[in-house]
Structure 1
Amino acid sequence: MRAPTTRRRLAFASLVAGAMLLGTACSSAESDTDEGPASGGGGIASEIKLVGVRDTTGPVAYAGLGASKGSALAVDEINDQGFLGEGVTLTLEEVDSANEIERASSEMSKAVADPEVMAILGPAAGQQAATVAPMVEQAKVPTVFTQAGSDGVVIGDYTFRATAPMSTYYHLAAEWLADEGLTNVAVLYNATFPTFAELGEKVFPALAEENGLTLASSDAVQSTTQDFSAQAQAIASRKPDAVVMFLIAPQSVTAMTQLRQAGYEGQFVATSVQAAGNVAEAGENAAGLVYPVDFSVAQTDEGAAAFTEGFTKKFGEAPDPYAAEGYDAVWWIARAIKASGDSSREGIKEGLQQVAGEGFEGAMGALTFEGNDMRVPGVLVRWDGSAEQLVE
């Protein structure tokens, strides 16, 4: 699907935001008068409602589904522990944005118009997130995004991100390539997704220069690209030491398979998108793939191990990085409510900022923040064909 133009996205967002503000003007005034649940005033309500608007169908559903499961586990733990006080219940309703900017905008407008919704967990896709971010800022509803690593997402006091941008820890991959002597590198990236476009066009070239790597080639593809045979033949003929891929998971499976078929025998390097078995369909073609992640089940630190154990017990499967991000996002909100002592929208916003200023230990390790934007240590892992192993 072609990415809508920036003008179209902004126009659509303005129309939706305008309609939303008109529709909520009366209810906002009523809340201010009646001291409703969204208007602040201190105190923690007995029931606190969150809404998740994220892809649970479509080509990037793996990100939305993982985050939703991680968030559900966090809600269970918070309620079971009585973390927010005796008799206080945190609830989470999930809606599917289905890889559509218009649908994400529609679902977000419904959420911000509902005075019972105290905070939102936003879409993972950068295009969706950048479109709805101005909406939630105007409506003053604290919204925590996962993934959505492009610009235009964390834009004010009410927008937050519980995923460190890949650019902040991708240096782990570039440094490893240099240490291994794999200095002649080809890049293959999806130019439709802003995060991948930024990595392919700006971030990695800068990291390559810093670490003494040479770019043998750089090829851009679109989200609709399903056949990489032409790129595979060209890359294989250059015989680079490594191919760095900034692609969505299904594309990377095809690209690695076709590169091997074209005779390429070198190293593959990718991103957290390929984590937790998302490349298993590539079989032996993916064995040895290296990528940096914000979380891996191979981690042995206490927070990561406890999260993996709880997630596996609840869902009967190991968590992926998206689940860890969704989990830490909800715990960030819970800590925010406790820190401010106020479960209103304003209270949660102020609490999120307070917790960000202090940092906390989560499933992804020692979490720090730059403003409203999360940072993580990150780890480098290798996919051995069936599981992830830490790369020392």
Structure 2
Amino acid sequence: MLEHGAFKRVENLVGRNRSGVGNRASKYRKSVALLAVPAMLAIAGCSSAPTNAATETGIAKEIKMVGVRDLTGPVAYAGVGAAQGAKLAVDQINEQGYLGEGVKLDLKEVDSAGAIERAASEVTRALSDQDVSVILGPVQGQQSAAVAPVVEARKVPVVFTQSASDGVVIGDYTFRATAPMHTFYQHAAEYLAKQGLKNVAVLYNSTYPTLAELATTHFPEMAAKEGLNIVKSIPVQTTTQDFTSPAQDLAREKPEAIVLLLLSSQSVTAMSQLRQAGYEGQFVGNTNNAGGNAAQAGQDAVGMVYPVDFSAAQSDSHAKKFVDSYRKEFGELPQTYAAEGYDAVWWIAHAIKASGDSSREGIRNGLEQTAREGFTGSMGEITFDGNDMRVPGVLAQWDGSRETVISD
């Protein structure tokens, strides 16, 4: 399970352990960071244009990429998973000689450590490296929205994973290899309607735009379409770890289902305290609960359902091939974040092959061409809305010991 085991591999991914950086950031520092991002943009815009491999036409023998992701901090499970999926794809592409004899992808991972200012700094550093052709990440919407104008100004392609909020895919150089959760979350609303669970409550993290937008905009629309009644909706912060009060408020409403749009660690506590408050109904989660993360809640999570863009329990051949390769490499089943990181790198590889050009502009052109055509990846038949990925998604369920797919 990545939240526990992945941290042992972080040093291999980032070169040294930077744990605790995100935890030391105070609210003051975060405010300063938001003011600092425009300054970084100005600095990046004034830098001289790269003249080396990143701008030379044709396919270079060594194609450098940089991944900027949370490898430590509260959502490290997403960043580490994406980094490991990306590494697997790089290894396969290089071993196959997919881009030509002697052509190698070189991916360096750096840690944004849960901090917007850190993400902006690392992205700016990568932009200034004249040999870096494309950037991967970050995984948090706030970080990605902050760096998106930077890469657009410098005309460097970036492929985000997760980061499903608005303000991320904003122009010709910003791409996203994660289908926004709201584009496949209808599996949850349809399930509730089919089960006759009409009265629904929502408990959500209002700090993360992806979760907040789903809770306040997209899910209410889905609920209305399926004839569901949202009896109560309660926001909490990322710092919230005690859910006693909202749990009691929700339990009093006697909903038949509660939708938890929280981080994985928050969901564990929330489910326990909701059960303690007397709630006995259905839990509906999100991708943060996938890949075994629900196991931390023990019996409280048994029967929980959650829509995902990928599950290791999928039966299609492409998913099974990816799962087998990932398990052989890392000794565990992949989470959805790993599939996203894997398909992001393959998207870049398809792009380079399509354009015949590994320069920044060549990769941008190739990413657009591949998006128009679509391709088959670990997540199935992948299509795009502009520069934004779309996948079918599935509804998964945690049975207490493993994840199963109950609808596709």
Give the structure-1-normalised TM-score: 0.95
* Pairing 1:135–2:150 present: yes
* Deviations, residues 166-215 of structure 1 (Å, cap 9, x unaligned): 01011110011001000100000000000111011111111111110001
Deviation at 1:17, TM superposition (A): 1.0
- After TM superposition, list the pairs within 5 Å mapping 1:1-392 onto structure 2: 11-22=35-46, 24-25=47-48, 27-28=49-50, 31=51, 36-40=52-56, 42-392=57-407
Change (3 A) 1:81 1:337: same
Report if aligned partners of 1:97, 1:104 keep a CA contact under 8 Å in 2. Answer: yes
Report if aligned partners of 1:9, 1:131 keep a CA contact under 8 Å in 2. Answer: no
Change (3 A) 1:378 1:391: same
User: What 5-or-longer segments of structure 2 have no aligned partner?
Assistant: 1-24
Deviation at 1:37, TM superposition (A): 1.6
Distance 2:297 2:55 in 1: 51
SS in 1 for 2:293: coil
Report if aligned partners of 1:250, 1:279 keep a CA contact under 8 Å in 2. Answer: no
Distance 2:27 2:310 in 1: 29
Report if aligned partners of 1:367, 1:375 keep a CA contact under 8 Å in 2. Answer: yes
Distance 1:65 1:38 in 2: 26
Distance 1:257 1:269 in 2: 14
Amino acid at match of 2:189: A
User: What 5-or-longer segments of structure 1 have no aligned partner?
Assistant: none
SS in 2 for 1:279: helix
Amino acid at match of 2:85: G
Distance 1:19 1:167 in 2: 35
Root-mean-square deviation (CA), in Å?
1.5
Give the structure-2-normalised TM-score: 0.92
* Deviations, residues 326-368 of structure 1 (Å, cap 9, x unaligned): 0000000000000000000000000000000000000000000
Deviation at 1:11, TM superposition (A): 3.6
Change (3 A) 1:9 1:153: farther
Change (3 A) 1:4 1:119: farther
Alignment identity in percent? 60
Report if aligned partners of 2:34, 2:117 keep a CA contact under 8 Å in 1. Answer: no
Report if aligned partners of 1:304, 1:364 keep a CA contact under 8 Å in 2. Answer: yes
Over 4 Å off, 4+ runs: 1-10
Deviation at 1:3, TM superposition (A): 7.5
Deviation at 1:278, TM superposition (A): 1.1
Amino acid at match of 1:124: V
* Deviations, residues 6-32 of structure 1 (Å, cap 9, x unaligned): 99666422100111222x22x54xx2x
Distance 1:9 1:244 in 2: 32
